[in-house]
Structure 1
Amino acid sequence: MNTDYWRHDWNRMFRNQRSQIWNGSWGMVPKCEGTLGIVTEATLRLAPVVPTKVAMAQFPDVEHAVSAVQEILNSPNGTHIQCVELLDDHMMTAINSAGLVSKNYPVSDTLFFKLQGTASAIKETAAAVRNIVKKHGSKQFQFAATDEEAAELWENRKYALTSTISSAGENARVWTTDVCVPVSRLPELVYETKKDLANSNLKSTIVGHVGDGNFHALIIFHDDKELPVTAPVSKNDAFLVLYR
């Protein structure tokens, strides 16, 4: 978006070009207070909506799943991957038991892909993704057959918090972690996090925007006595990021 800025004496200061949808004028006029300029004109460029398809792949463990993501994003077809979301096996169990979806899904560490591009680009990317996930141990890869099924598949990740709390019983609460690392380090970090949680006898689910190197562990507790147990584990995940 282009924006013109004018001073109080009606002399144009500069034209600001930004790709975001906000003008961010405070950042373009540094170290100032008060109104130094007024936005009088804006030019907005619109891009067409790119067709998308949704696919799901399931893996024997999170390390295999996230390793597949790393290879897919580095492949020639990686630019046609709009999003990749991870829901671990505990999260899939929670979604099934919460009853927020129309059918139950196999309980396994699962990746949801959103592919974008022309019909031919999506077809080529789907074939490449299918081959890569199979190489990383996936036994099931499927496309949504209809737009409605695609919408429901993609909605599953939005039920993460609600499903986790609902499946954990009465008075359940969650301690949510938020970690972002280079995608190349993500397989190790997710694997070590799940191992730490299991060794601590803590129940949790994991959901991640793994295409961006980001994931959340939703650690379940029920009262203030259980809360202190969750803190050391979440801090340990931070140390893994800092020191490994």
Structure 2
Amino acid sequence: MSAQSLIRAVKPLSRSAAVARRVTICGPLSARYYSSPPPIRTSASGSKRPDENDNSSSGNPEDLKNASAWPLSGVFAVALGAGLAGWGISELRHRGFPGTMMLDSLFPMPKYASLGEMEQALKEIRSELGGEDIISTDPEDLHAHGYSEWSTSNPEGLPVAVAYPRSTEQVATIARVCHKYRVPIIPYSGGSSLEGNFSAPFGGISVDFAFMDKIIQFNKADMDVVVQPSIGWQDLNEQLVKMGSGLFFPIDPGPSAKIGGMIGTNCSGTNAVKYGTMKDWVINLTVVLADGTIIKTRRRPRKSSAGYNLNGIFVGSEGTLGLVTEATLKLTVIPEEFSVAVVTFPTIRDAASAAAEVMQTGIPVAAMEIMDEVQMKVVNMGGATAPRVWKEMPTLFFKFSGTKAGVKENISLVQKITRNNKGSNFEFAKDAREQKLLWSARKESLWSMLALRKEGEEVWSTDVAVPFSRLADIIEVSKKEMDDLGLFASILGHIGDGNFHESIIYNRRDKVERGKVEVCVKNMVKRALEMEGTCTGEHSIGWGKKESLLWEVGPDTLGVMKAIKSALDPNWIMNPGKIFDRYA
């Protein structure tokens, strides 16, 4: 049997096969969200997007109990295919089958549960946790937990089941049983990731924390809060406002992101230039390890030098080392004064040069974002910020915060720098409503891009980060390459910390066009690495950037990461196929 024949013989049930089982297919791309297809909100433009304020997306036990499900034999076909893929290639490799070594990157994982073992694992989980609503095998549920509409990477395969735990102890039970039978475990909280981070290429069980979305403990005097993984950062801040706390959690990625996923990817957002990234705001974590062991990484003081910094291991690990079930987070004081302004530039290089100079001068802006003329046009076309119409020019968005005197001084300093870099006059928001409108252009950028897709089109959104001194260079060159390739693409990002994104609309059915996009993205990554940058500033590695990580850190550093993974997860069941492969 040839290698290609073998692949065809053991290929797991894919999205195309799932169509026959009433699974709706949207097209290939990333994320982390809902227990069923995301609730949809229609914007002024008519585009559809997950409703970040609708908690109904968490699912309802009764709905899950009554949902139509696949017959067990159909559900476990996914697991059987995935298990055969991982096990079959492994066995042939060990027997010296010609050509199997080159398949390591496709089938890198060890043997997983057989069909019978998978059935037994789900039976035991249901028995120990005492409720049919703990496990869902509804086709739409499986699709929502294995495929993302806006991800750059959607490997073939779906989870076999979705588990909905209500406590750390229930998560531990799920992990213990999965460890016993070698069932892959994929954590899921917000579903908004962009690199295939929650995909299920080897089947297994998706663990959705939708029911674990509470504030457990608020310590106002200590300025910290203990939360469960599926609370959204916006929901957390809204609850802190209702408490009259005067405090907030400053990390602000996409509107629908949840704390669990934010920890998994070490995300940041627009406030990173002032407040840093997720790792800077985690005090301690409660983590369920692969065998069901429950650990706490630290105690509650803001500083500690007691032993290894386990927070630094689990933050950014994408659920490949353990499942975070609680997090103690730092909070900070809501600033006295806010001001939001926009300024346009004749070229993207002028805008990037101004941004770099602001940072090099040490002016403490709260946030600084860039969007090129294409992205400003996209926002206008999408209508997400209507009736506002934006100048379709490279634009910097500034947020200032602090004392009234401090904000006034910082605005004056930034205005001088932007004028010296050919910037227009600042346009300031007059009140809180206008502040929200001005800033919404940046926050709505991805949704606006998605709204413009035609039949068969997808959006490839990915990021890199470089030192400040190279920002203008990489942005200018990357933008020119996208234009030279004839791609409908834009530049945007958190330019205040050297992080920027490319968003590209392409036709997934056009191999030539997709090839151009892949070349463009790889060149952007290689450029960033040549400039001593990183292949991802905040999206993390997931399924899509494993090769880029190898380029960045090299095989020896990757080997250290794999050693840590093997020590904590010897069966490689925790979110397999993400960050790196076992044998690659």
TM-score category by the smaller chain?
0.7 to 0.9
Q: Summarize the Cα distance change of 1:47–1:242 in structure 2 as closer, same or farther, 3 Å threshold.
A: closer
- Do residues 237 (structure 1) and 524 (structure 2) align? yes
Q: Summarize the Cα distance change of 1:38–1:130 in structure 2 as closer, same or farther, 3 Å threshold.
A: closer
| Matching of residues 82-161 of structure 1 within 5 Å | 82-101=366-385, 102-161=387-446
Secondary structure of the equivalent of 2:332? coil
Secondary structure of the equivalent of 2:398? strand
Secondary structure of the equivalent of 1:74? helix
Distance 2:360 2:297 in 1: 44
Structure 1 gaps of 5+ residues are 3-17, 27-32
Larger RCO: Structure 1 or Structure 2 (Cα < 8 Å, ≥ 6 residues apart)? 1
Give the structure 1 partner of residue 281 of structure 2. 20
- 1:52 is matched by which residue type in structure 2? F
Secondary structure of the equivalent of 1:234? helix
Distance 2:425 2:297 in 1: 56
Distance 2:506 2:295 in 1: 51
| Matching of residues 135-214 of structure 1 within 5 Å | 135-214=420-499
Distance 2:397 2:366 in 1: 11
| Count of residue pairs the alignment pairs up | 225
Distance 2:464 2:297 in 1: 39
Q: Greater share of strand residues, 1 or 2?
A: 1
| Matching of residues 217-236 of structure 1 within 5 Å | 217-225=502-510, 226-236=513-523
Secondary structure of the equivalent of 2:414? helix
Deviation per residue, 1:44-99 (Å, 9 max, x gap): 875321122111010011111011011111225x12x0111111100000100111
Give the structure 1 partner of residue 351 of structure 2. 65
Using the TM superposition, name which of 168-177 and 120-129 deviates more. Answer: 168-177
Give the structure 2 partner of residue 12 of structure 1. none
Contact 2:369 2:496 in 1 (8 A): yes
Distance 1:136 1:207 in 2: 19
Distance 1:211 1:38 in 2: 31
Q: Return the TM-score normalized by structure 1.
A: 0.82
Contact 1:165 1:172 in 2 (8 A): no
Give 1:41 shift: 6.9
Secondary structure of the equivalent of 2:427? strand
Give 1:105 shift: 0.8
Distance 2:390 2:463 in 1: 26
The structure whose Rg is larger is 2
Structure 2 gaps of 5+ residues are 1-221, 225-278, 303-328, 532-584
Q: Summarize the Cα distance change of 1:121–1:233 in structure 2 as closer, same or farther, 3 Å threshold.
A: same
Give 1:37 shift: 6.7
Give the structure 2 partner of residue 5 of structure 1. none
Tell me the percent identity.
Answer: 30
Deviation per residue, 1:89-127 (Å, 9 max, x gap): 000001001111121011100010111111111111111
